[in-house]
Structure 1
Amino acid sequence: MTNARSITVEATPATPWRNGGGVTRELLVWPGPADWRLRISVADIAADGPFSAFPGVRRWFTLLAGEGVALDFADQSLTLRPGDAPLGFDGAAAPGCRLIGGPVRDLNLMVRSGTGGMAAVSRGAAWSAPAGAQAGLFARVPGRWRSGDQQHTLSAHSLLWFDAPPPGGWRFEPDAPGSIESNTPALAGWWLHHIPEGLSP
């Protein structure tokens, strides 16, 4: 696992928003901060306000903690709570965000070129990175990532990332087995991937 990177949210510097409504912790950017095509971040939202616009970006959003949010798009309003499936949308949409019951923490995957995706960890089910992808796991709870005879221990709210993912089925085993419940499949963690432009099927 020489190409594995492990990044924890709490060890990542927080960047305050210009509007004062929250902070963002940038866990991973590829290939670099100035010209990123892949960005994974965690944000703490403390007040109502619009999302920043990211034209040309596909964005996935899911809640890690808090009561929930209402996102107001031009054509619809959606309510999201922890445990709901990740929401994918056009980064240029920049919906308004209203807090439900107080501050929340969320996970964001943004892809500027190529394709990507975010999928919830499911009990008993293995996950494999798509061909040509960079991929990883964001753990909401502490546990162990396993693939064959390889394993990696993760703390809560941390990212394990591979630029060249090992083949085969990946699994995530929470330290508390009850962390994955049949009615709340997104609570333990999420598989993330990005296939750079030119390699997409």
Structure 2
Amino acid sequence: MENFKKVLASLRPDILRFAKIQLRDEYLAEDIVQETLATAIDKHSQFRGDAGVKTWVMTILKNKITDYFRSAKHTVSLDALQEENAAIDNGYEDCFNDSGHWLLSASPRQWSAAPEDAECQKAFFRTLENCLKGLPEDTARIFYLREIMGMDIEEICSSFNITKDNCYVILHRARNGLRNCLQHRWFDLN
């Protein structure tokens, strides 16, 4: 059990970083991470080893975050989302010609192959985290729930009290915002 607790302690920074990005509240993230670690210790005997300890603990964390959003009855007004996402949409009309194709000057550039070394990869993910922080709060949350946590669209819609169409628009805007941010903060620099 002591070895297991040491493994959990070594995982804490990673799961805390994930929780902070997802929840955007340092104190709430700390609380949920503590609950996650306590649950992992309590359920230690149920760990079968089918996946790694980190994967198992991250699954517990994702479930706790999902439970938080469900219990918070988090609702989003469509007007608020439209205002938050206006910044992402601004300027995109100038990227396309009359037929809807990318202008050469604005088209996405070819991104190089995946980062090869661990330090480069860590730097990339720090940049990605910073780009996520730059998205409107609910947009980032919805993106995380769908793309990182793998939550179903229907479940996200229910949690945020939004329609499927609205959810798809939010995800599209999140991807565009991340693409633009990563282009400027990572790919143009490397």
TM range (shorter): under 0.3
TM-score, normalisation: structure 2: 0.24
Q: Which has the larger radius of gyration?
A: 2
Higher helix share: 2
TM-score, normalisation: structure 1: 0.23
Higher strand share: 1
